[in-house]
């Protein structure tokens, strides 16, 4: 399921996997560099996603809710003011 919606000053992209949940041991390490659950994974995909969101003054969260995995990317609607 993909949801796109506005929440205050942010546009949010939410992906819900209704067929799975992740163990806490996996959730706790998501976004750490060089950490992968794939045999040939480099462990940089989610690390780059989390950091890209922060650079754009947004947020990226992954969590379980009601036995579903939710991933929410939040990005600001307005450009930041230049100093």
- Enter the DSSP assignment of 14: E
According to DSSP H, which parts of 2-82 are helical?
Answer: 24-27, 45-55
- Tell me the pLDDT tens digit for each residue of 50-83: 888 888 899 999 999 999 999 999 999 986 666 5
pTM of the entire predicted model: 0.78
d(CA 56, CA 72): 15
What backbone torsions phi and psi does residue 62 show, to the nearest 5 degrees? -130, 130
d(CA 78, CA 52): 17
Confidence (pLDDT) at 79 = 67
According to DSSP H, which parts of the chain are helical?
Answer: 24-27, 45-55
């Amino acid at each position: 399921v993909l949801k796109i919606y506005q929440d205050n000053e942010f546009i949010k992209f939410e992906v819900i996997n209704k067929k799975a949940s992740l163990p806490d041991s996996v959730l706790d390490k998501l976004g750490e560099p060089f950490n992968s659950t794939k045999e040939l994974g480099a462990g940089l995909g989610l690390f780059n996603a989390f950091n890209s969101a922060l650079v754009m003054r947004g947020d990226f969260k992954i969590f379980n809710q009601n036995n579903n995995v939710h991933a929410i990317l939040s990005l600001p609607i307005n450009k930041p003011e230049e100093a």
